[in-house]
Amino acid sequence: MAKLMTEQRFASPDDVYQLLIDSHRDLTPEQSTRLNAKLILLLANHIGDAEVLAEALRVARQGIE
Amino acid sequence: MHATFSYPKYSFTPSDEQRTGNVRRHPVVIVGAGPVGLTAALDFARKGVPVVVLDAEDTVSVGSRAVCYAKRALEVWDRLGVGQRMIDKGVVWKIGKVFNGDRMVYQFDLLPEPDHKIPAFINLQQYYLEDFLVAQARKSDLIDLRWLSRVISARQEADHVVLQVETPDGVHAVEADWVIACDGAKSSVRKMMGLEFQGEVFKDRFLIADVVMKADFPAERWFWFDPPFHRKQSALLHMQPDNVWRLDFQLGWDADPEEEKKPERVIPRVQAMLGADTPFELEWVSVYTFQCRRLDRFRHGRILFAGDSAHQVSPFGARGANSGVPDADNLVWKLALVLDGKAPESLLDSYCDERVAAAKENILNSTRSTDFITPKSEMSRVFRDAVLELAVDQPFARALVNSGRLSTPTTYTDSPLNTPDGDRFAGRMVPGAPATDAPVERDGLSGWLMEVLDGRFTVLYAAGDGPVPAEVAEALDGLAAGPLPLAWHAVTDRRRGIAGELVDSAGRLRERYDLTPGSVYLIRPDQHIAARWRRFDAAALSAALDRAVGHTVSR
């Protein structure tokens, strides 16, 4: 069973963070939401494993309610 | 409005028991002469069980309603001798296309493999379907159809049920060992018994318009999200016989159902879809909402629920009538064996187990489709729209587009009637699965496996290229002569002249059932797989048969 990897994996973490932020530049909140949804779908398919996705969703939801 | 169909009027004739006041005890009374009740009645008659069918009305379904009938329901009707008439009249189809705006984003084929007798789907107005079922029922002396006979109360006694039935001649009692309530989503039997029908209500309204027109759209299911002619809502197009087309428009929760039904509201919507210069006439208009809900248990003592009275789904996926017919298919052979003293009453609980599992599967699929078509939250809509946007260029996203996952039969994976596999097999024909069709030659005539599976238990013995060993034939002849209705057939690669042999000349049976010489399948009267082995073992087969009729098998 694949496991969600939560150790640091980026060669250059600051570059990745900037990529995310830059991709939303000049977008309205609505457009950003749309971009995020498409990004999530693309990445979820790339992972291709419902268990890993479920684990990621569980971790992401922690502290929200 | 235009009328391509004239509704039959079935006359009320008072029954002997109403005229004389002598109450009779019937083995089975079916409440409701819709597709499910009539299917059950035909199946009982085929098994030699007399039935009374009570219906509150005196005609068939008003409006085309269900329209889409799936392969599995058609296979049941074909076994009952009425399927071909439906297929001949119906529009046969198997391709579905999904559009977003004016671009196609997804296409599916519901029967991608060849060599099946029955098509993936037909479209047929429900009134034709019921008319054909009634005509077939009238051919049987064992089916007593009673129109204008409304059940107003049901009382369970220790060993029977007493119904009070209201007719034009007054109220009288009818007694039955068993009652099957096939009286629809608004089931009065269910209400009389105070049973909870729980689930989800969806806040959306849809307009159905059946229009008569000459058009050259193909016989395919076309579904639009956000089409140019009906912005921000969905729409659906289906071909029916007699140049009738089913159009379905999503309206949203705030639409006023009475206003939306008015021709002056409907006609502009239809014109926008078809183009202003396409002449058409309205045949039938209806506005509906829907719910996904079910009874907790489908058996309540001697009253059994089947079809919409037991479970209700949204229309996306055509899972209403198409799951009600398998309910009847599942129940009738079991109840016939119980009535005949050949199976314990507890076999009826497996009806509940298996068909509740099917209802859960149907409700899950139908709810998911509905959540996609009618997103319930802002973020749900965002994801839905993102899927549609990605689907244009990204193949992975097309699989997520859900305009209705169309009805397929349920595999009773966890059924207590299954004998779990001890041997290795490939493919889909696992215990609990509905048998898949294949062409076979019998007595020199080409036919189909589904025609061989005739409502009895069936044993298939794969003889390959050799003869059937004498001890195998003897054991199987013994079973066939036993108390349970059972037939057996040798499956051969080429003609060998064995009595009842099925010649698998195309090799489809071998392929679809992963047969090797010596393989054995036990198939139930409702054409679901009960057990299979790589080698014939008479004791194992007997034990599997016992298990399949609900006897507890010690392991």
Domain extent at residue A34:
28-65
CA B239/CA B507 separation, integer angstroms:
35
Residue stretches of chain A with pLDDT short of 50: none
Question: What is the CATH architecture of B439-548?
Answer: 3-Layer(aba) Sandwich (3.40)
Kindly state the tokens that stand for B293.
Answer: 């809900």
In a domain, A51, yes or no: yes
The minimal CB distance from A37 to the residues B382, B394, B396 is found for: B382
Q: Is B514 left (phi over 0), alpha (psi -120 to 50) or beta?
A: left
Closest CA to B126 of B262, B286, B260, B241: B241
In a domain, A56, yes or no: yes
User: Are B249 and B205 contacting, i.e. CB atoms less than 8 angstroms apart?
Assistant: no
Total structural domains within chain A: 1
In a domain, A3, yes or no: no
Kindly state the tokens that stand for B542.
Answer: 């007997």
Q: Please say if the pLDDT value at position B230 is more than 70.
A: yes
In a domain, A64, yes or no: yes
Q: B377 to chain A: which residues are within 8 Å by CB?
A: none
Q: Which pLDDT value is given to residue B555?
A: 42
User: Are B528 and B519 contacting, i.e. CB atoms less than 8 angstroms apart?
Assistant: no
Determine the 3-state secondary structure of B372 from DSSP: helix
CA B553/CA B555 separation, integer angstroms:
6
- Inter-chain contact A45–B386, Cβ cutoff 8 Å? no
Consecutive H or E run containing B457: strand B457-464
> Could you read off the pLDDT of B430-446 as tens digits, one per residue?
999 999 999 999 999 99
In a domain, A46, yes or no: yes
Count of C-beta atoms within a 10 Å radius of residue B141: 8
CA B68/CA B90 separation, integer angstroms:
9
CA B526/CA B329 separation, integer angstroms:
6
Instruction: Give me the amino acid identity at B344.
Output: P
Per-residue pLDDT averaged across B354-372, rounded? 96
Residue ranges per structural domain of chain B: 16-89+120-195+292-368, 439-548
In a domain, A12, yes or no: no
Consecutive H or E run containing B31: strand B25-31
Whole-number average pLDDT of chain B: 96
User: Are B78 and B117 contacting, i.e. CB atoms less than 8 angstroms apart?
Assistant: yes
CB contacts < 8 A, A to B, total 26
Count of C-beta atoms within a 10 Å radius of residue B168: 10
- Residue B553 binned pLDDT confidence (cut-offs 50, 70, 90): low
CA B232/CA B228 separation, integer angstroms:
9
CA B474/CA B343 separation, integer angstroms:
24
Q: What percent of chain B has pLDDT over 70?
A: 99
Question: What is the CATH architecture of B16-89+120-195+292-368?
Answer: 3-Layer(bba) Sandwich (3.50)
- Inter-chain contact B382–A42, Cβ cutoff 8 Å? no
**Chain A, nearest residue to B380 by Cα:** A37
Residue A43: partners with Cβ closer than 8 Å, 6 or more residues away? none
Per-residue pLDDT averaged across B222-229, rounded? 96
- Inter-chain contact A42–B394, Cβ cutoff 8 Å? yes
The alpha-carbon gap from B419 to the nearest alpha carbon of chain A, in Å, equals: 29
